[in-house]
Amino acid sequence: MALRRGMPSLSRRSLQLIRLLLPVSLGVLLVAVPTVFAMFPGLTTWSRRTRVEIIIGWLVIALVGALLTALADARLHRLVAADQEAAVVAERRATIRDQFRGLLVPGIGGLPEQYHMTVYGPTPDRRFLIPLYPPALNFRDPAIFPTGAGATGKAWEDPTGVFVVTGDAVSSDRHGLTGVQQRRYKMFGTVAGVVIAGEAGQPIGVLTAIGRDEDGFFDQGGVEVLKDLAQGIAWLIPEAVRWMMPREGP
């Protein structure tokens, strides 16, 4: 993070170097003043005004040195704290990713292996559904859906909590897909979304399965398979919403 807009930020190594050299340099300077006067007693005959100015300058150097050292320390501590926080986030994300990977292996529950699953969680205002697994790269990811758009957003708002789309409708604008999303999903022939319910029965996420072929799986009991998978990961959704959301603004 830059110290000031338009200025390059200081790295931790630079701050450590400043933290080391600044006190040493100023310490040498502070010691040098009384040392010079001790070695050359004749300098003490200078006028009182000159000696007062030297003392004032000496004190200013001491204060500036202490201030700059404190600022460098504070900046270094912030960098260390940010690194520690980033390490915690990375560890939590890796753990959650592994848990989803173990719960949603290809072909689980009889789901044909052609289907790729995505777990979605709502934004705090519940206007958008964000991929938690695999996680969205940022808030501009085309896999993000407004509630009410695509099989994901339609399932979220549907009273049954289920929405299945097949054929050309998977990649058309019929269900509110943007142009980018239409191109992204052009190769797919089937997509199904089911709501993930919390302990009180409220929607807390959506699980979708998308495949290239229009195989009729979700007309032959496939919806129940997807529902079972959705409920099997419900316990993980609150932590996933907390840790797997993109870390940058829209």
State whether residue 166 is helix, strand or coil. strand
Write the pLDDT tens digit of every residue in 118-154.
999 999 999 999 999 999 989 999 999 999 999 999 9
DSSP letter at 234?
G
pTM of the model: 0.69
Strands (E), 77-179: 116-122, 128-133, 145-146, 162-166
> What burial class does residue 199 get, using C-beta atoms within 10 Å of its C-beta: 0-12 exposed, 13-18 middle, 19+ buried?
exposed
Separation of first and last alpha carbons in the chain: 18
Contacts of 28 (CB under 8 A, 6+ apart): none
Residue 191's DSSP bridge partners are 165, 210
Output 20 or 227, whichever has higher pLDDT: 227
- pLDDT of residue 8 exceeding 50, the answer is no
Mean pLDDT for all residues in the chain: 83
User: Residue 149 has what pLDDT?
Assistant: 97
pLDDT in tens, 23-70: 555 555 555 566 656 655 665 566 667 766 766 776 676 666 666 666
Question: How far apart, in whole angstroms, are the C-alpha atoms of residue 231 and residue 207?
Answer: 9
**Rounded distance between C-alpha atoms, residue 209 and residue 110, angstroms:** 13
Per-residue model confidence (pLDDT) at position 154:
97
Looking at residue 3, its pLDDT comes to 36
From the list 133, 132, 118, the residue with the least C-alpha distance to 193 is 118
| 5 — pLDDT class (breaks 50, 70, 90) | very low
